[in-house]
Amino acid sequence: MAKKFNIILLLIFTTFFLTSCWDARPIDQLYLVFGIGIDTSENDQYLVTIVAPTIDPQAEAKKIEISSVSNSLRNAQDNIQNKAFRRITFNNTKLFVLGEDAAKEGIAKHIDTIIRDPECRGTSRILVTEGRAVDLLNVEPEFTSLVSLYIYELLEQSFFTSTVPFTTSRQFYNEYLTSGIEPILPYVKKGNREDEYIINSTALFKGDKMIGVLTHDESIALSILRSSISDGFLTAKIEDGEYFTLRSTGGKNKIKIDIKEDKIIITHEINIKGNITELTCQRSLDEDFIKELEGILAFQIKTMCEKVINKLQNKYIVDSVGYGRYVKAYHPNIFDKKNWNKQFSDAEIKITVKVDIISLGTIK
C-alpha cells in the first residue's frame, strides 16, 4: 500500500514540471501591441499601424509605432512582424481604431480577421475616428505615454456616463450577423488642441459600412432606446435660467409589436429612475414640484428619442435600435430579413417615457 502511494505521489509531483507554456517568452523579448489602426491606402490597399510600449526603461522613445501597407489586415500584420526585431503579440491589444474612410468602405473583413486570430481578444474595444487612424495613434497625450490607453480610458468614462455604446469587436460582429438590428460604434472627434480628442458621438452602420454620425444628445437618446443607459446624467430646463439634473440609476424598456392592416406598430415604453444631483432654483421639493420635474424630463427624453427615430427612419433608413428582433420573434410571418430596414422606415413607432425621482438629495 505504501509503495502504491509513493508512486502516485511521484506522478503528481512530476506533473508540476510538465505543465508549462512551451512557447513562453520573457516580456523583454516581446512587443505588446496595445492599439491597432486601419486606414485606406492607394490601389485598394490598407495602411495598418500598431503601437506598443517600450519595455526598456532606458529607451529614449516611450512607444514603438510600426506601419505597413497591404491588401489585408493579416498580411499587414505579417509585414509588420518582418520589420520588428522582437516578437509581436496581440494578447494585450485593447483598442482597434478605424479611420473614417475605412469604416465607410466596409469593416466586416477586418473584424473577421480579428475574431479568427487566437491572439486577438474579442473583448477589445473598437471605434471609428474622425479622419485617419494613424493620425490618432501618432498623438502624444499629456498624461500618458500611449494614446491607445488614453482613448481606452475615454471610452470607459463615456460608457459609464451613457454617452456612447459599449462595443467590442465580438459584439459588433454579432450585431452585424444578426437580422433585425444594425451595429453601431463609438465615434471619436478632434478637440480644440492637437492632442485632444472627444468621444461623445456614435457612428451608424448599414451592414458593415458606416453611413452617418449621431451627435452627443442623439447618442444619449440611442443609448436610452437600446436600454443601455447605466449611470448617465440628464439635465432639463425648468424655466429661464433654472435647471435640474438627474443621475440615472437604471430603468426598464418594454417594446410591444402590433400588426394592423399589414402595418407594423411599435410601442416603446421607457422608464427611467434616478436621483436629483442638481437643482438651480430655490423652490421647495414638495410632491407637486417633484411630479412637475418628472414630467419635464420625461417630455425632454421623449423629444430626444423621437428625433433620433425620425432620423433613423427617414434619413438613414436603418434600425439601429433593434426593433426587428422583436418583430422577428413575435411576428415571423411579417418580418422580411432582406428588406427589414425598409419595413422599419415605414413602421409607426410610439414612444412613451416615465421618469421616477427616487432620491431628492440632502436639501429639500
If you search the block for the grid coordinates 433593434, which residue do you land on?
322
pTM score of the predicted model = 0.85
| pLDDT at residue number 47 | 94
3-state class (DSSP) for residue 266? strand
202 band by pLDDT with thresholds 50, 70 and 90: very high
Which amino acid appears at position 62 of this protein?
Answer: K
Question: Nearest 5°: CA angle at 64, between 62 and 68?
Answer: 160
For residue 305, pLDDT beyond 80: yes
Q: What is the pLDDT of residues 98-150, one digit of tens each?
A: 999 999 999 999 999 888 877 777 778 899 999 999 988 887 766 666 666 66
The per-residue pLDDT of the chain, averaged, comes to 84
Lay out the sheet containing 233-239: strands in order across: 233-239, 242-260, 263-279, 348-359
The set of cell numbers assigned to 128 is 471609428
Distance CA 82, CA 76 (A): 10
Phi, psi (rounded to 5 degrees) for 133:
-65, -35
327 Cβ contact list (under 8 Å, min separation 6): 180, 257, 264, 334, 335, 340, 343
Q: How many CB atoms lie within 10 A of CB 297?
A: 23
Where do the domains of the chain lie, and which CATH numbers do they carry? 25-214 (no CATH), 227-364 (3.30.300.210)
For residue 174, pLDDT beyond 80: yes
Distance CA 319, CA 340 (A): 8
